[in-house]
């Protein structure tokens, strides 16, 4: 009984962490930069395809393949920010939605053209697959890996955003671009880097997610609800909010499916409704 | 006045003269398929199968050319399917409606087929109820119940007494669950647990854990083919080491369908499934099918049972056209379809004159490597299986 409880808790945290990893890029572009970036999943999909392809064509090991996944998505973000996104920073949210949903459909069409509509999958290295027994509970190795990556990433991002000059520049540029510009911050450049970083994180999340979520051209639409759920419930003021939200949703979802499988699939949405009623500004909101 | 009636007469004469010329018109087949969206792989398989048939048998039958008009439903979208069927009937004046990867799309079009008296060939959608919705529907694919019942019988025969069932929560899934339960418990087996998972469900971990904790001898699953779900389930099944806990995996062939089998790696090896078609089926018809399919889809693209549905659907249409000398009439076409025998790549198939569903051999198969690649290798067969879901 206790061990099954611990098992459910672990699975839930790991699932939550996966939700966080595929959404963390969005909490940079939507959360931090306040741009309704519905094309987030397209960057994730790009990272996923890059990871799968460098692994299968050039036999790059999985961990090394995560690097080009990040870089490719970041570069794509850099270019698209330059030619498209930049024009709409001051546009209405509706304009941003229209632009990015259009980009999403284009990405789906391009991916179908290049790779076909079928599922892609990758083979994990031995040391990341299988199970490990810890305190009598069977824990999945890849899920432990996801948890570890999530923790490291959160710490690193928090350090950058809260304690570095660059982090301060981003926050200043978002809060008041005119004053930031007057203080000598190159707002355009800061935004460009931040957007590329957010896109890169999306790519990384996409690559990490292939094993659990699968990968096909409709990826950006299939999981858009989950990206938005995490950021909406978590709040947009910090990275902590989406992290807590993702972990909470993960645990509730897995526990629901385990203990009451008849309604398990709806619990995550019920939880979202409750949390948004209780805390409409998100779990961790701006003071 | 006089002048205009002369021109009316001329017009009528021209129309009359045009009728024999109409025989030169192609036989139009309106293909309603899922060509984009989450089920795009399904639509592509069916269309490739149909095109492969045309490639192998020539594009004329009974002196008339055969033309496919492809319409995209973009997914499980009954409204769109219905609108597309309307367009095909009124604008394109098609002779056949065909395709239909998914049940909801087929159900939405059924009343239109009746109204327009157009033969409607189901090339994939596998819920039992479909053929009861219109007298003008004939199915050349299979029904979920048809392939599930033999699996339950096989499980009992192989000494499996307790089973946990896991199916997708929609028409075919419920058909599979009901049939399996009925056949299995009637023969003395015990269902120790059952769960219906939502169609959009990226996370199987908790369900798998629950199954593992229930210690059944086997778990029976149905999940839609050509989606990420069978892959995700297989991965989870291996990861959680359910096989090492002594739990066997049995499924309908959708789960290990030929198109997706290679991307699953080694995990499905040894899984036993029942279905009507395997790429590894040994027959001259199958060899011809595989060759033509490779010409249409390119080498290395594996066809699955949906592609065979497309192929056999075209075979049925050619046969109807040949029997009717190219003069397609809805009611006459249905008479030809009832009881029609098709020499399919899967083995022989007869369209039941009463239900217009296929009567065919169902094979028990095991996933095995042949020349280094995984295939569903058939090792037992149950001939002449009718749809038990009606």
Residue B12 clears pLDDT 90, i.e. is over it = no
Domains of chain B: 23-142+282-356 (3.40.50.2300), 145-275+363-385 (3.40.50.2300)
Task: Please report the DSSP string for B29-56 in residue order.
Answer: EEEEE--SGGGHHHHHHHHHHHHHHHHH
Q: Structural domain of residue A22, as residue ranges?
A: 7-119+140-278
User: CA–CA separation, B339 vs B358, rounded Å?
Assistant: 9
Helix axes A93-115, A40-58, angle to 10 degrees: 20
Give the start-end residues of each E strand in chain B.
27-33, 60-61, 64-72, 96-99, 120-122, 137-139, 162-168, 190-197, 218-222, 248-252, 272-275, 341-344, 347-351, 358-370, 373-385
CB contact under 8 A, A265 and B198: yes
- Residue A214: list chain B partners with CB under 8 A: 202, 228, 231-232
Q: What is the pLDDT of residues B230-287, one digit of tens each?
A: 888 988 888 888 888 899 999 999 999 998 888 888 888 999 999 999 999 999 999 9
Query: Is A113 a residue whose pLDDT tops 70?
Result: yes
Of B210, B213, B227, the CB nearest to A261: B210
Q: Which of A117, A216, A265 sits opposite B201 (nearest CB)?
A: A265
Average pLDDT in the A11-21 region? Answer: 92
User: Distance (Å, rounded) from C-alpha A271 to C-alpha A117?
Assistant: 33
- The answer to which of A1-15, B25-39, B316-330 has the lowest mean pLDDT is A1-15
> What is the distance between the alpha carbons of residues B261 and A280, in angstroms, rounded to a whole number?
45
Residues 6 or more apart whose CB falls under 8 angstroms from that of B259 comprise: A118, B41, B45, B225, B226, B302, B303, B304, B306
**Residue range B308-323: mean pLDDT, rounded:** 96
Query: What pLDDT is attached to residue B19?
Result: 44
Instruction: Establish, for the pair of chains A and B, how many residue pairs have beta carbons separated by less than 8 Å.
Output: 100
In this prediction, residues B145-165 reach a mean pLDDT of: 95
Terminal Cα distance for chain B, rounded? 63
Average pLDDT value for residue range A267-279: 89
Q: What is the pLDDT confidence band of residue A286, given thresholds at 50, 70 and 90?
A: low
Instruction: Identify the band that residue B225 occupies on the pLDDT scale cut at 50, 70 and 90.
Output: confident
| pLDDT band at B51; cut points 50, 70, 90 | very high
- pLDDT digit string, tens, across residues A174-186: 888 889 999 989 9
B80 closest CA partner among B35, B47, B27, B49: B35
The residue with tokens 């995560």 is A66
Average pLDDT score over chain B: 90
Contact between chains at B241 and A138 (C-beta distance less than 8 A): yes
B20 pLDDT above the threshold of 70: no
Q: Which helix (H) or strand (E) holds A139?
A: strand A137-140
- CB within 8 Å of B7: residues ≥ 6 apart: none
Look at residue A233 and tell me if it is in a domain.
yes
C-alpha dist (Å) from residue B267 to B215, B232, B236: 20, 11, 10
Higher pLDDT, A42 or A258: A42
pLDDT of residue B10: 46
The chain A residue lying nearest B302, using CA atoms, is: A118
Which chain A residues contact residue B207 at CB under 8 A?
257-258, 261, 264
User: In chain A, pLDDT over 90 holds for what percent of residues?
Assistant: 52
Q: How confident is the model at residue B21 (pLDDT cuts 50, 70, 90)?
A: very low
Taking residues A201-228, what's their average pLDDT? Answer: 91
* pLDDT tens column, A51-60: 999 998 999 9
Share of residues in chain B with pLDDT > 70 (%): 93
Task: Pick the more confident residue, A134 or A197.
Answer: A197
Residue A125 lies in a domain: no
Give the model's confidence band at A1: pLDDT under 50 very low, under 70 low, under 90 confident, else very high. low
Across all residues in chain A, what is the average pLDDT?
89
Q: Which residues of A fall below an 8 Å CB-CB distance to B? A: 4, 7-8, 11, 15, 112, 116-121, 123, 129-131, 138, 140, 142, 211-218, 222-223, 226, 253-258, 261-262, 264-265
Q: Is the pLDDT of residue B205 over 90?
A: no
Distances (CA, A) of B100 to B42, B149, B188, B244: 10, 24, 37, 40
- Burial label for B55, CB within 10 Å (0-12, 13-18, 19+), is middle
- Orientation angle between helical segments A165-175 and A187-213, nearest 10 degrees: 100
Task: Answer yes or no: is A128 within a domain.
Answer: no
CATH of the domain at A184: 1.10.3470
Q: Which residues of A touch B374 (CB under 8 A)?
A: none
Residue B211 CB-half CA count within 13 A: 33
Q: Is residue A158 part of a domain?
A: yes
Check residue B2 and give its pLDDT: 46
Q: How far is B38 from chain A (nearest CA, A)?
A: 6
Q: Mean per-residue pLDDT for A80-84?
A: 94
Residue B337's pLDDT band (cuts 50, 70, 90) = very high
Interface of B with A (CB under 8 A): 36-38, 40-41, 44, 195-198, 200-203, 205-207, 209-210, 213, 226-228, 231-232, 235, 239-241, 259-260, 263-265
Residues of B in contact with A223 (CB under 8 A): 202
A58 located within any domain: yes
The pLDDT of residue B201 is: 65
* pLDDT higher than 90, residue B67: yes
Residue B303 pLDDT? 94
SS (H, E, C) A183-194: CCCCHHHHHHHH
Given pLDDT bands bounded at 50, 70 and 90, which one contains residue A203?
very high
Residue B322 has pLDDT above 70, yes or no: yes
Q: What pLDDT shows up at residue A47?
A: 96
* Residues A213, B213: C-beta atoms closer than 8 Å: no
Residue A35 inside a domain? The answer is: yes
Q: What's the gap in Å between the CA of A218 and the closest CA on chain B?
A: 6
- Mean pLDDT on B28-34: 96
Task: Supply the pLDDT for residue A126.
Answer: 84
ipTM here = 0.76
**Total domain count for chain A?**
1
Name every chain B residue with its beta carbon within 8 A of the beta carbon of A8. 206, 209
Each residue's pLDDT tens digit, B131-147:
999 999 999 999 999 99
B226 interaction partners in chain A (CB closer than 8 Å): 118-119
Is A180 domain-assigned?
A: yes
In a domain, A174, yes or no: yes
Q: Is the pLDDT of residue A234 over 70?
A: yes
The share of chain B scoring above pLDDT 90, in percent, equals 75
Q: Rounded mean pLDDT of B97-106?
A: 95
Q: What is the mean pLDDT of residues B298-321?
A: 94
């Amino acid at each position: 009984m206790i061990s099954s409880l611990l098992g459910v808790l672990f699975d839930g945290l790991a699932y939550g962490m996966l939700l966080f990893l595929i959404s963390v890029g969005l909490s940079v572009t939507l959360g931090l930069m306040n741009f309704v970036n519905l094309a987030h999943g397209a960057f994730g999909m790009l990272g996923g395809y890059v990871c799968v392809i460098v692994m299968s064509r050039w036999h790059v090991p999985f961990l090394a393949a995560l690097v080009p996944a990040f870089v490719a998505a970041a570069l794509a973000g850099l270019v698209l920010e330059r030619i498209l996104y930049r024009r709409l920073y001051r546009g209405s949210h509706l304009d941003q939605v229209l632009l990015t949903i259009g980009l999403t459909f284009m990405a789906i069409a391009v991916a179908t053209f290049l790779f076909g509509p079928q599922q892609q999958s990758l083979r994990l290295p031995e040391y990341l697959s299988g199970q490990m027994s810890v305190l009598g509970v069977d824990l999945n190795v890849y899920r432990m890996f996801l948890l570890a990556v999530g923790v490291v990433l959160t710490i690193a991002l928090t350090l950058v955003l809260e304690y570095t000059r660059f982090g301060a520049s981003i926050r200043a540029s978002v809060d008041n671009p005119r004053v930031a510009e007057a203080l000598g911050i190159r707002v355009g450049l800061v935004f460009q880097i931040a957007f590329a970083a957010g896109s890169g994180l999306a790519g990384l999340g996409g690559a990490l997610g292939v094993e659990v979520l699968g990968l096909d051209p409709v990826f950006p639409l299939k999981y858009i609800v989950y990206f938005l759920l995490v950021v909406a419930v978590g709040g947009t003021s910090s990275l902590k909010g989406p992290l807590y939200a993702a972990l909470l949703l993960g645990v509730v979802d897995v526990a629901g499916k385990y203990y009451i499988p008849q309604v398990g699939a709806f619990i995550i949405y019920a939880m979202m409704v409750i949390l948004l009623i209780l805390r409409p500004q998100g779990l961790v909101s701006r003071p | 006045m006089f002048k205009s009636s002369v021109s009316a007469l001329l017009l009528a004469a021209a129309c009359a003269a045009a009728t024999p010329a109409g025989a030169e018109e192609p036989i139009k087949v309106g293909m309603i398929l899922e060509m984009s969206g989450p089920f795009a792989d399904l639509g592509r398989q069916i269309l490739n199968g149909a095109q492969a048939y045309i490639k192998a048998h020539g594009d004329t039958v009974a002196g008339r050319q055969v033309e496919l008009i492809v319409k995209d439903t973009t997914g499980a979208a009954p409204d769109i399917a219905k609108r597309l069927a309307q367009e095909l009937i009124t604008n394109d004046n098609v002779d056949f409606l065909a395709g239909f990867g998914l049940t909801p799309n087929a159900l939405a079009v059924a009343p239109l087929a009746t109204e327009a008296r157009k033969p409607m060939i189901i090339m994939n959608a596998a819920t039992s109820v479909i053929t009861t919705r219109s007298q003008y529907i004939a199915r050349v694919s299979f029904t979920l119940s048809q392939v599930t019942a033999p699996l339950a019988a096989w499980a009992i025969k192989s000494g499996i007494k307790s089973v946990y069932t896991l199916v997708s929560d929609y028409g075919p899934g419920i058909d599979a669950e009901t049939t399996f339960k009925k056949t299995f418990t009637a023969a003395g087996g015990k269902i120790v647990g059952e769960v219906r998972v939502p169609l959009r469900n990226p996370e199987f971990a908790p369900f798998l854990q629950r199954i593992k904790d229930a210690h059944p001898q086997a778990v029976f699953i149905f999940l839609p083919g050509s989606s990420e779900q069978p892959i995700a389930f297989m991965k989870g099944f291996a990861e959680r080491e359910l096989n090492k806990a002594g739990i066997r995996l049995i499924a309908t062939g959708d789960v290990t369908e030929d198109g997706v089998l290679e991307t699953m790696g080694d995990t499905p090896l040894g899984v036993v499934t029942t279905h009507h078609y395997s790429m590894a089926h040994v027959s001259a018809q199958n060899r011809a099918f595989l060759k033509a399919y490779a010409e249409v889809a390119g080498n290395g693209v594996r066809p699955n049972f949906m592609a065979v549905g497309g192929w056999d659907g075209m075979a049925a249409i050619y046969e109807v056209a040949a029997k009717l000398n190219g003069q397609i009439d809805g009611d006459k076409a249905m008479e030809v379809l009832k009881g029609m025998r098709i020499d399919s790549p899967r083995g022989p198939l007869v369209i039941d004159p009463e239900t217009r569903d296929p009567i065919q051999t169902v094979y028990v198969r095991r996933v095995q490597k042949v020349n280094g690649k995984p295939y569903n290798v058939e090792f037992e067969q149950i001939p002449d299986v009718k749809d038990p879901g009606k």
